[in-house]
Amino acid sequence: MSSYSHINFSSMEHFASYIVYSNRFPASHLFGEVGFLLVNLPQIKGLLSKSDYLIPDSNNNSSDEEELEHIELSGLSEIFKPDFWLELIKLYILNFHIQTPLFNLKHFDIAKLPQSLLTSIYCFGYNFKTDKTPELTDYMAKLAQSNVNRILFKTNLANAKALFIHHYNYYYAGKFIEGRAIIVHLTRMCHALGVHVDTKPIYNSVEFDRGSLYRNLALSHENLSTVYNLRPGFGVEIPNFNPTLYDSHWQLLNENTNNLLNLNPMKMEYYSKLCSLANEFRDKSLDVLDFSNFTNLNDEQITNLCLTKYNELLSQSLIISVEFRKLKQQYSSYSTDLFLTYEKIQYYYLFNYLLVFEFGRLKSNQLTPQLTRKILEIGSLTLEALQKIDDSSSLTYFYYLLGFNLMGIYNYLSADDKQLARDKLGVLFYSVKGFDKMSHLNYSLFVSGLNLIK
């Protein structure tokens, strides 16, 4: 962020032109932590205060206070019910663990789980609970903070896992600074524990959990920098790919815990295979997205590198698609019953395609025809996928990243392709108008960018 803090823009249009034309600011940095820090810079706050005219009316959106009037407050009575806490564990496993497994489920015993880890699971599982009260939400937030304070300087593997879960909890709450601080501290803790030491093959539960934790820690660091190798000094290297981490037997919930949580054994068998498959390919894609060893390339070499990376990701996507369909056919009764779906896996790859070609666009002195054609092609595929889903509000970053990439190649397109790009940007514009005010900066930049190419 320090590289942007000294920049002063005269208007939102000036800022938008910097993003679209300067080849110095990746649009992907507008999402997540960097975007949160950016929107809190004094000069950006000033621009936002002057750009309210760009934001569509939102009179139809009821306020949080109005919505709360319709909630029957039940206070904290639920915390005295054992089923409430079991539900939170179940919600954590089905909604978060499936895409970010920090430990194995084969030896997951609730009765023997360290309290610090169990508490973090409770707190994060609460994010997926539908029937909440203000009092209960406040209680869970305080419970989470109390747990963090209690374990922050107590170095052991269980506490490290708990802190990793809490860092995600901070991110879900929009507390990116606190989440980043946890990651910094956790990285040092993991090195003190020797978690970074490569262990091949993996024979026991502890080795599995150490490998999974470090792999997820590396992914978190990679998410902060996308493909731009902006890893801070406290970062971690991407560990060597270890196939023994993805044997589905590690994620097959043991019978006792399965019965305690009242989960269907066949559903959890499907879960274990889907969890292992998705995370195997997620981790493989990390290696593809590593651009750190490629420097001093000319425009043609950059284009070829991006096309090679894209083809590797595409090959992975095709393989996982085939495997996913096999699982879906084998477990057809449960295929629509889990948080992780085929569509979400495909969105992950589409986003990675956009990242690869954003890298190519920003690193090239002069865009090659092959690169602009491929960006336009990927844009069409992404927009087509987005238009097929009913509720895409959780995928706003797709719309914005796609839009800024199309704006960035606009001047390199033929007349016919410029019209095609304008048509796609028009569709994107009417889509992002409905998103919430948290996208104030992104929306203002998007509209200002559209005005630049008219």
Cis peptide bond prior to 201, omega within 30° of 0: yes
Q: Give the total number of structural domains in the chain.
A: 2
Task: Please check whether residues 152 and 27 belong to one and the same domain.
Answer: no
Instruction: Give the H or E element holding residue 361.
Output: helix 342-363
Does 451 share its domain with 380? Answer: yes
pLDDT mean across residues, the chain: 83
Task: Please tell me the predicted confidence (pLDDT) of residue 202.
Answer: 61
Q: Which of 273, 293, 313 is the last residue of a domain?
A: 293
> Which residue range forms the structural domain that includes residue 277?
74-293
pLDDT score for 332: 82
Q: Counting beta carbons within 10 angstroms of the beta carbon of residue 416, is it exposed (0 to 12), middle (13 to 18) or buried (19 or more)?
A: exposed
Residues 155, 278, single domain; the answer is yes
Which of these three, 293, 316, 332, is where a domain ends?
Answer: 293
Sequential DSSP letters for 139-173: HHHHHHHHHHHHHTT--SHHHHHHHHHHHHHHHHT
Tell me whether residue 321 is in a domain.
Answer: yes
Q: For position 58, what pLDDT does the model report?
A: 44
Residuewise pLDDT in 10s, the chain (454 residues): 555 556 678 888 888 888 888 777 777 777 655 666 677 777 787 877 777 666 655 444 444 444 333 333 447 888 888 999 999 999 999 999 998 999 999 999 999 999 999 999 999 999 999 988 889 999 999 999 999 999 999 999 999 999 999 999 998 887 877 888 898 899 889 989 888 776 666 668 888 898 899 888 888 776 555 555 444 444 567 777 888 888 999 999 999 999 999 998 999 999 999 999 989 988 888 888 888 777 889 999 999 999 999 999 999 999 998 998 898 888 887 766 666 677 778 888 888 898 899 889 989 999 999 999 999 999 998 888 888 776 666 677 788 889 999 999 999 999 999 999 999 999 888 887 765 555 678 888 888 988 888 7
> Is residue 60 a part of any domain in this protein?
no
What pLDDT, on the 0 to 100 scale, is given for residue 232? 43
* 96 shares its domain with 13: no
Kindly state whether residues 355 and 277 are assigned to the same domain: no
In this prediction, residue 166 carries a pLDDT of 96
CA atoms lying within 13 Å on the CB side of residue 153: 1
Distance separating alpha carbons of residues 220 and 237, to the nearest angstrom: 11
| The pLDDT of residue 235 | 55
Residues 264 and 309 in one domain: no
Residue 61 lies in a domain: no
What pLDDT is recorded for position 272?
A: 93
* Spatial CB neighbours of 361, under 8 Å, sequence gap ≥ 6: 23, 367, 371, 375, 405, 408, 409
Decide which of 242, 268, 293 is a domain's last residue: 293
pLDDT given for residue 196 in this prediction: 75
The answer to whether residues 314 and 425 belong to one domain is yes
Q: Residue 28: which of 349, 284, 370, 357 has the closest Cα?
A: 357
In angstroms, rounded to a whole number, what is the distance separating the alpha carbons of residues 28 and 229? 13
Q: What is the pLDDT of residue 96?
A: 92
